[in-house]
Structure 1
Protein backbone atom coordinates (compact mmCIF):
# COMPACT_ATOMS: atom_id res chain seq x y z
CA UNK A 1 0.00 0.00 0.00
CA UNK A 2 1.48 3.34 -1.11
CA UNK A 3 2.07 6.22 1.18
CA UNK A 4 -0.99 8.38 1.75
CA UNK A 5 -1.06 11.62 -0.17
CA UNK A 6 -0.03 14.63 1.84
CA UNK A 7 -3.05 16.84 2.45
CA UNK A 8 -2.74 20.12 0.60
CA UNK A 9 -2.80 23.22 2.81
CA UNK A 10 -5.29 25.86 1.55
CA UNK A 11 -3.62 28.96 0.14
CA UNK A 12 -5.24 31.29 2.68
CA UNK A 13 -3.91 29.18 5.56
CA UNK A 14 -0.44 28.95 4.01
CA UNK A 15 -0.33 32.72 3.51
CA UNK A 16 -1.15 33.33 7.17
CA UNK A 17 1.63 30.92 8.17
CA UNK A 18 4.06 32.86 6.00
CA UNK A 19 2.91 36.16 7.46
CA UNK A 20 3.25 34.79 11.00
CA UNK A 21 6.83 33.83 10.16
CA UNK A 22 7.41 37.25 8.59
CA UNK A 23 6.13 39.09 11.68
CA UNK A 24 8.55 37.20 13.89
CA UNK A 25 11.47 37.70 11.49
CA UNK A 26 10.85 41.42 10.93
CA UNK A 27 10.44 42.01 14.68
CA UNK A 28 13.58 40.10 15.65
CA UNK A 29 15.90 41.06 12.77
CA UNK A 30 14.52 44.38 11.54
CA UNK A 31 13.15 45.05 8.08
CA UNK A 32 16.47 45.53 6.32
CA UNK A 33 18.24 42.55 7.86
CA UNK A 34 15.29 40.18 7.46
CA UNK A 35 15.68 37.75 4.56
CA UNK A 36 13.09 35.89 2.55
CA UNK A 37 15.18 32.74 3.12
CA UNK A 38 14.69 33.00 6.88
CA UNK A 39 10.99 33.78 6.51
CA UNK A 40 10.53 30.74 4.27
CA UNK A 41 12.45 28.55 6.71
CA UNK A 42 10.35 29.71 9.66
CA UNK A 43 7.16 29.06 7.69
CA UNK A 44 8.34 25.63 6.58
CA UNK A 45 7.96 26.42 2.87
CA UNK A 46 10.24 27.14 -0.07
CA UNK A 47 11.38 30.67 -0.85
CA UNK A 48 9.83 30.57 -4.36
CA UNK A 49 6.45 29.83 -2.74
CA UNK A 50 6.77 32.93 -0.55
CA UNK A 51 7.48 35.03 -3.64
CA UNK A 52 4.61 33.37 -5.51
CA UNK A 53 2.06 34.09 -2.78
CA UNK A 54 3.29 37.36 -1.31
CA UNK A 55 5.65 38.74 -3.97
CA UNK A 56 8.50 40.98 -2.81
CA UNK A 57 9.78 41.60 0.71
CA UNK A 58 8.29 45.10 0.53
CA UNK A 59 4.86 43.69 -0.42
CA UNK A 60 5.11 41.12 2.36
CA UNK A 61 6.02 43.77 4.93
CA UNK A 62 3.10 45.93 3.80
CA UNK A 63 0.71 43.00 4.15
CA UNK A 64 2.05 42.30 7.64
CA UNK A 65 1.63 45.94 8.70
CA UNK A 66 -1.98 46.01 7.45
CA UNK A 67 -2.84 42.74 9.15
CA UNK A 68 -1.31 43.70 12.50
CA UNK A 69 -2.91 47.17 12.35
CA UNK A 70 -6.36 45.73 11.75
CA UNK A 71 -5.91 43.21 14.56
CA UNK A 72 -4.90 45.91 17.05
CA UNK A 73 -7.85 48.17 16.18
CA UNK A 74 -10.23 45.21 16.42
CA UNK A 75 -8.83 44.22 19.83
CA UNK A 76 -9.26 47.72 21.27
CA UNK A 77 -12.81 48.22 20.01
CA UNK A 78 -13.94 44.71 20.96
CA UNK A 79 -12.62 45.09 24.52
CA UNK A 80 -14.85 48.06 25.35
CA UNK A 81 -17.84 46.98 27.44
CA UNK A 82 -21.02 48.31 25.76
CA UNK A 83 -23.42 50.01 28.12
CA UNK A 84 -20.84 50.31 30.91
CA UNK A 85 -20.04 53.56 32.67
CA UNK A 86 -17.77 55.92 30.73
CA UNK A 87 -14.72 55.32 32.91
CA UNK A 88 -15.19 51.57 32.70
CA UNK A 89 -15.41 51.74 28.90
CA UNK A 90 -12.20 53.72 28.64
CA UNK A 91 -10.42 51.39 31.07
CA UNK A 92 -11.56 48.26 29.25
CA UNK A 93 -10.41 49.71 25.90
CA UNK A 94 -6.98 50.44 27.36
CA UNK A 95 -6.83 46.98 28.91
CA UNK A 96 -7.67 45.50 25.51
CA UNK A 97 -4.82 47.47 23.95
CA UNK A 98 -2.28 46.32 26.53
CA UNK A 99 -3.52 42.72 26.44
CA UNK A 100 -3.20 42.57 22.66
CA UNK A 101 0.26 44.14 22.50
CA UNK A 102 1.48 41.83 25.29
CA UNK A 103 0.05 38.75 23.59
CA UNK A 104 1.52 39.82 20.21
CA UNK A 105 4.84 41.51 21.06
CA UNK A 106 6.32 40.83 17.64
CA UNK A 107 3.36 42.40 15.88
CA UNK A 108 3.60 45.41 18.18
CA UNK A 109 7.33 45.72 17.46
CA UNK A 110 6.62 45.70 13.72
CA UNK A 111 4.04 48.47 14.07
CA UNK A 112 5.68 50.63 16.71
CA UNK A 113 9.34 50.29 15.70
CA UNK A 114 9.96 48.77 12.28
CA UNK A 115 7.16 50.28 10.18
CA UNK A 116 7.71 53.79 11.48
CA UNK A 117 11.39 53.61 10.62
CA UNK A 118 10.92 52.59 6.99
CA UNK A 119 9.15 55.66 5.63
CA UNK A 120 6.31 55.57 3.13
CA UNK A 121 4.11 53.71 2.52
CA UNK A 122 4.48 51.87 5.82
CA UNK A 123 4.47 54.92 8.06
CA UNK A 124 1.23 56.01 6.35
CA UNK A 125 -0.38 52.65 7.19
CA UNK A 126 0.58 52.97 10.86
CA UNK A 127 -0.60 56.58 10.99
CA UNK A 128 -3.99 55.51 9.61
CA UNK A 129 -4.27 52.80 12.26
CA UNK A 130 -3.34 55.25 15.01
CA UNK A 131 -5.84 57.83 13.72
CA UNK A 132 -8.60 55.22 13.85
CA UNK A 133 -7.81 54.42 17.48
CA UNK A 134 -7.63 58.14 18.34
CA UNK A 135 -11.08 58.71 16.78
CA UNK A 136 -12.44 55.84 18.84
CA UNK A 137 -10.92 57.16 22.07
CA UNK A 138 -12.16 60.67 21.24
CA UNK A 139 -15.67 59.25 21.09
CA UNK A 140 -15.23 57.58 24.48
CA UNK A 141 -13.99 60.85 26.03
CA UNK A 142 -16.89 62.75 24.48
CA UNK A 143 -19.32 60.21 25.91
CA UNK A 144 -17.68 60.57 29.30
CA UNK A 145 -18.06 64.34 29.17
CA UNK A 146 -21.72 63.99 28.24
CA UNK A 147 -22.27 61.53 31.07
CA UNK A 148 -20.68 64.00 33.48
CA UNK A 149 -22.90 66.82 32.23
CA UNK A 150 -20.07 68.91 30.78
CA UNK A 151 -20.37 68.14 27.07
CA UNK A 152 -20.68 71.80 26.21
CA UNK A 153 -17.57 72.68 28.19
CA UNK A 154 -15.35 70.07 26.51
CA UNK A 155 -14.75 71.22 22.94
CA UNK A 156 -14.30 68.62 20.22
CA UNK A 157 -10.73 69.82 19.68
CA UNK A 158 -9.90 69.41 23.36
CA UNK A 159 -11.40 65.92 23.43
CA UNK A 160 -9.31 65.00 20.38
CA UNK A 161 -6.20 66.43 22.05
CA UNK A 162 -6.85 64.39 25.17
CA UNK A 163 -7.34 61.30 23.00
CA UNK A 164 -4.03 61.89 21.21
CA UNK A 165 -2.27 62.33 24.55
CA UNK A 166 -3.83 59.20 25.99
CA UNK A 167 -3.00 57.07 22.94
CA UNK A 168 0.56 58.38 22.95
CA UNK A 169 0.93 57.55 26.62
CA UNK A 170 -0.47 54.07 26.02
CA UNK A 171 2.03 53.47 23.21
CA UNK A 172 4.92 54.58 25.38
CA UNK A 173 3.80 52.41 28.28
CA UNK A 174 3.32 49.41 25.97
CA UNK A 175 6.85 49.86 24.65
CA UNK A 176 8.17 49.56 28.20
CA UNK A 177 5.86 46.71 29.21
CA UNK A 178 6.83 44.67 26.13
CA UNK A 179 10.56 45.43 26.18
CA UNK A 180 12.71 42.28 26.24
CA UNK A 181 13.60 41.04 29.70
CA UNK A 182 17.10 40.19 30.88
CA UNK A 183 16.53 36.70 29.49
CA UNK A 184 15.90 38.19 26.05
CA UNK A 185 12.19 37.46 25.88
CA UNK A 186 9.22 39.79 25.88
CA UNK A 187 7.42 40.30 29.19
CA UNK A 188 4.07 39.21 27.77
CA UNK A 189 0.98 39.56 29.94
CA UNK A 190 2.75 40.22 33.21
CA UNK A 191 5.34 37.47 32.80
CA UNK A 192 8.07 39.69 34.22
CA UNK A 193 7.58 40.45 37.93
CA UNK A 194 8.59 44.11 37.57
CA UNK A 195 6.18 44.79 34.70
CA UNK A 196 2.42 45.40 35.05
CA UNK A 197 -0.29 43.17 33.65
CA UNK A 198 -2.61 44.54 30.96
CA UNK A 199 -5.22 45.55 33.54
CA UNK A 200 -2.60 47.13 35.80
CA UNK A 201 -1.15 49.13 32.89
CA UNK A 202 -4.65 50.34 31.98
CA UNK A 203 -5.21 51.27 35.62
CA UNK A 204 -1.96 53.25 35.65
CA UNK A 205 -3.18 55.42 32.78
CA UNK A 206 -6.63 55.78 34.33
CA UNK A 207 -5.05 56.96 37.58
CA UNK A 208 -3.12 59.56 35.62
CA UNK A 209 -5.72 60.66 33.06
CA UNK A 210 -9.07 60.06 34.72
CA UNK A 211 -8.38 60.87 38.33
CA UNK A 212 -6.11 63.73 37.29
CA UNK A 213 -2.44 64.19 38.03
CA UNK A 214 -2.99 66.67 40.88
CA UNK A 215 -5.50 64.48 42.72
CA UNK A 216 -3.40 61.41 42.01
CA UNK A 217 -0.36 63.02 43.60
CA UNK A 218 -2.45 63.58 46.73
CA UNK A 219 -3.36 59.91 46.94
CA UNK A 220 -6.58 59.68 44.94
CA UNK A 221 -6.95 56.40 43.06
CA UNK A 222 -9.36 55.17 40.41
CA UNK A 223 -10.47 51.53 40.44
CA UNK A 224 -13.06 49.59 38.40
CA UNK A 225 -16.34 49.06 40.19
Structure 2
Protein backbone atom coordinates (compact mmCIF):
# COMPACT_ATOMS: atom_id res chain seq x y z
CA UNK A 1 0.00 0.00 0.00
CA UNK A 2 2.97 2.29 0.54
CA UNK A 3 3.37 3.24 -3.13
CA UNK A 4 -0.22 4.54 -3.45
CA UNK A 5 -0.40 7.78 -1.47
CA UNK A 6 -3.24 9.51 -3.28
CA UNK A 7 -6.30 10.73 -1.42
CA UNK A 8 -8.54 12.68 -3.81
CA UNK A 9 -8.98 11.31 -7.32
CA UNK A 10 -10.81 13.29 -9.99
CA UNK A 11 -12.49 11.28 -12.74
CA UNK A 12 -13.20 13.67 -15.57
CA UNK A 13 -16.55 14.03 -17.27
CA UNK A 14 -17.04 16.58 -20.01
CA UNK A 15 -20.82 16.77 -19.57
CA UNK A 16 -20.51 17.28 -15.82
CA UNK A 17 -18.45 20.41 -16.46
CA UNK A 18 -21.67 22.16 -17.53
CA UNK A 19 -20.31 23.70 -20.75
CA UNK A 20 -17.38 25.28 -18.92
CA UNK A 21 -13.85 24.82 -20.15
CA UNK A 22 -12.78 21.27 -19.30
CA UNK A 23 -9.17 22.18 -18.54
CA UNK A 24 -10.13 25.14 -16.35
CA UNK A 25 -12.34 22.85 -14.26
CA UNK A 26 -9.59 20.25 -13.85
CA UNK A 27 -6.98 22.87 -12.97
CA UNK A 28 -9.28 24.38 -10.35
CA UNK A 29 -9.86 20.93 -8.86
CA UNK A 30 -6.12 20.31 -8.62
CA UNK A 31 -5.63 23.65 -6.89
CA UNK A 32 -8.30 22.56 -4.42
CA UNK A 33 -6.53 19.34 -3.48
CA UNK A 34 -7.01 16.70 -6.19
CA UNK A 35 -3.79 14.68 -6.39
CA UNK A 36 -4.68 12.11 -9.08
CA UNK A 37 -6.73 12.53 -12.28
CA UNK A 38 -8.32 9.99 -14.60
CA UNK A 39 -9.42 10.95 -18.08
CA UNK A 40 -12.54 9.04 -19.07
CA UNK A 41 -13.77 9.64 -22.61
CA UNK A 42 -16.41 7.44 -24.23
CA UNK A 43 -17.52 9.77 -27.01
CA UNK A 44 -14.25 10.81 -28.68
CA UNK A 45 -12.49 8.98 -31.49
CA UNK A 46 -8.91 7.86 -30.88
CA UNK A 47 -7.30 10.93 -32.44
CA UNK A 48 -9.42 13.34 -30.39
CA UNK A 49 -8.92 11.27 -27.26
CA UNK A 50 -5.15 11.33 -27.67
CA UNK A 51 -5.09 15.09 -28.31
CA UNK A 52 -7.17 15.80 -25.21
CA UNK A 53 -5.08 13.41 -23.10
CA UNK A 54 -1.81 15.01 -24.17
CA UNK A 55 -3.15 18.47 -23.43
CA UNK A 56 -4.40 17.38 -20.03
CA UNK A 57 -1.11 15.67 -19.19
CA UNK A 58 0.80 18.86 -20.03
CA UNK A 59 -1.44 20.76 -17.62
CA UNK A 60 -1.13 18.21 -14.83
CA UNK A 61 2.64 17.94 -15.23
CA UNK A 62 2.90 21.55 -14.04
CA UNK A 63 1.39 20.46 -10.73
CA UNK A 64 3.14 17.07 -10.53
CA UNK A 65 -0.26 15.36 -10.57
CA UNK A 66 -0.32 11.94 -12.29
CA UNK A 67 -2.73 11.19 -15.12
CA UNK A 68 -4.53 7.86 -15.43
CA UNK A 69 -6.26 6.84 -18.68
CA UNK A 70 -9.51 4.93 -18.48
CA UNK A 71 -9.75 1.75 -20.59
CA UNK A 72 -7.51 2.64 -23.52
CA UNK A 73 -4.05 1.08 -23.40
CA UNK A 74 -3.11 2.66 -26.72
CA UNK A 75 -3.85 6.17 -25.46
CA UNK A 76 -2.17 5.53 -22.11
CA UNK A 77 1.04 4.36 -23.76
CA UNK A 78 1.12 7.01 -26.49
CA UNK A 79 0.58 9.81 -24.00
CA UNK A 80 3.12 8.43 -21.52
CA UNK A 81 0.44 8.59 -18.85
CA UNK A 82 1.20 7.53 -15.29
CA UNK A 83 -1.08 4.53 -15.64
CA UNK A 84 -4.37 3.01 -16.69
CA UNK A 85 -7.64 2.01 -15.08
CA UNK A 86 -9.58 -1.00 -16.35
CA UNK A 87 -12.81 -2.78 -15.54
CA UNK A 88 -14.03 -6.28 -16.25
CA UNK A 89 -15.24 -5.49 -19.76
CA UNK A 90 -11.90 -3.93 -20.71
CA UNK A 91 -8.42 -5.28 -21.27
CA UNK A 92 -7.51 -7.34 -18.20
CA UNK A 93 -4.81 -6.19 -15.77
CA UNK A 94 -2.79 -9.27 -16.74
CA UNK A 95 -2.93 -8.24 -20.41
CA UNK A 96 -1.97 -4.67 -19.48
CA UNK A 97 1.08 -5.96 -17.59
CA UNK A 98 2.11 -8.03 -20.60
CA UNK A 99 1.69 -5.26 -23.16
CA UNK A 100 2.79 -2.36 -20.96
CA UNK A 101 5.18 -3.64 -18.30
CA UNK A 102 6.24 -0.08 -17.46
CA UNK A 103 2.74 1.00 -16.44
CA UNK A 104 3.23 2.99 -13.26
CA UNK A 105 -0.26 2.70 -11.78
CA UNK A 106 -2.71 -0.05 -12.68
CA UNK A 107 -6.23 0.29 -11.31
CA UNK A 108 -8.95 -2.34 -11.40
CA UNK A 109 -12.70 -1.97 -10.76
CA UNK A 110 -14.22 -4.55 -8.44
CA UNK A 111 -17.83 -5.25 -9.37
CA UNK A 112 -18.48 -8.20 -7.05
CA UNK A 113 -16.65 -9.79 -4.15
CA UNK A 114 -15.47 -12.93 -5.97
CA UNK A 115 -13.26 -10.78 -8.20
CA UNK A 116 -11.15 -9.90 -5.18
CA UNK A 117 -9.71 -13.44 -5.26
CA UNK A 118 -8.60 -13.22 -8.90
CA UNK A 119 -5.16 -12.62 -10.36
CA UNK A 120 -6.52 -9.40 -11.87
CA UNK A 121 -7.02 -7.98 -8.39
CA UNK A 122 -3.74 -9.39 -7.10
CA UNK A 123 -1.56 -7.67 -9.70
CA UNK A 124 -3.37 -4.32 -9.64
CA UNK A 125 -1.95 -1.36 -7.73
CA UNK A 126 -5.34 -0.36 -6.35
CA UNK A 127 -8.88 -1.69 -6.24
CA UNK A 128 -11.78 0.61 -7.10
CA UNK A 129 -15.16 -0.11 -5.53
CA UNK A 130 -17.66 1.07 -8.10
CA UNK A 131 -20.12 2.42 -7.21
CA UNK A 132 -20.14 2.86 -3.45
CA UNK A 133 -23.35 4.82 -3.89
CA UNK A 134 -25.53 4.85 -7.01
CA UNK A 135 -24.61 7.60 -9.46
CA UNK A 136 -26.14 9.10 -12.59
CA UNK A 137 -22.69 9.43 -14.20
CA UNK A 138 -21.99 5.68 -14.09
CA UNK A 139 -24.97 3.43 -14.73
CA UNK A 140 -23.31 0.29 -16.17
CA UNK A 141 -22.61 -1.29 -12.78
CA UNK A 142 -23.87 -4.40 -11.00
CA UNK A 143 -24.12 -3.50 -7.31
CA UNK A 144 -23.94 -0.62 -4.88
CA UNK A 145 -21.22 -1.34 -2.30
CA UNK A 146 -22.26 1.09 0.40
CA UNK A 147 -20.31 1.64 3.60
CA UNK A 148 -20.73 -1.98 4.65
CA UNK A 149 -19.22 -3.13 1.36
CA UNK A 150 -16.21 -0.87 1.88
CA UNK A 151 -15.74 -2.27 5.38
CA UNK A 152 -16.03 -5.84 4.13
CA UNK A 153 -13.51 -5.44 1.30
CA UNK A 154 -11.16 -3.57 3.64
CA UNK A 155 -11.24 -6.55 5.99
CA UNK A 156 -10.28 -8.91 3.15
CA UNK A 157 -7.41 -7.10 1.45
CA UNK A 158 -4.44 -4.86 2.13
CA UNK A 159 -4.73 -3.34 -1.35
CA UNK A 160 -5.35 0.40 -1.54
CA UNK A 161 -9.10 0.95 -1.95
CA UNK A 162 -10.52 3.73 -4.10
CA UNK A 163 -14.21 4.48 -3.56
CA UNK A 164 -16.20 5.97 -6.43
CA UNK A 165 -19.85 6.79 -6.96
CA UNK A 166 -21.87 9.78 -5.69
CA UNK A 167 -19.13 10.93 -3.32
CA UNK A 168 -19.24 14.42 -1.84
CA UNK A 169 -18.14 16.34 1.25
CA UNK A 170 -21.08 14.96 3.22
CA UNK A 171 -20.06 11.31 2.97
CA UNK A 172 -16.29 11.56 2.47
CA UNK A 173 -15.40 11.17 6.13
CA UNK A 174 -17.60 8.08 6.56
CA UNK A 175 -15.99 6.39 3.56
CA UNK A 176 -12.46 6.99 4.82
CA UNK A 177 -13.46 5.74 8.27
CA UNK A 178 -14.93 2.63 6.63
CA UNK A 179 -11.58 1.87 5.02
CA UNK A 180 -11.27 3.75 1.73
CA UNK A 181 -7.75 5.07 1.12
CA UNK A 182 -8.75 7.40 -1.70
CA UNK A 183 -12.01 8.94 -2.92
CA UNK A 184 -12.75 9.29 -6.63
CA UNK A 185 -15.12 12.12 -7.43
CA UNK A 186 -16.88 13.24 -10.60
CA UNK A 187 -19.99 15.42 -10.29
CA UNK A 188 -19.41 16.89 -6.83
CA UNK A 189 -16.34 18.62 -8.24
CA UNK A 190 -16.90 18.92 -12.00
CA UNK A 191 -20.48 20.20 -11.65
CA UNK A 192 -19.80 22.47 -8.70
CA UNK A 193 -20.14 26.22 -9.12
CA UNK A 194 -16.64 26.42 -7.62
CA UNK A 195 -14.63 23.25 -8.42
CA UNK A 196 -11.63 24.44 -6.42
CA UNK A 197 -13.69 25.04 -3.29
CA UNK A 198 -15.58 21.75 -3.76
CA UNK A 199 -12.31 19.82 -4.04
CA UNK A 200 -10.90 21.60 -0.99
CA UNK A 201 -13.96 20.74 1.11
CA UNK A 202 -13.76 17.06 0.21
CA UNK A 203 -10.01 16.95 0.72
CA UNK A 204 -10.45 18.54 4.14
CA UNK A 205 -12.99 15.87 5.14
CA UNK A 206 -10.58 13.15 3.98
CA UNK A 207 -7.70 14.59 5.96
CA UNK A 208 -9.79 14.94 9.12
CA UNK A 209 -10.92 11.31 8.89
CA UNK A 210 -7.46 9.78 8.38
CA UNK A 211 -6.21 8.25 11.64
CA UNK A 212 -3.40 10.25 13.23
CA UNK A 213 -3.56 12.93 10.52
Task: Tell me the TM-score normalized by structure 2.
Answer: 0.26
TM-score (norm 1): 0.25
**Larger proportion of strand:** 2
Q: Which has the higher contact order (CA 8 A, sep 6+)?
A: 2
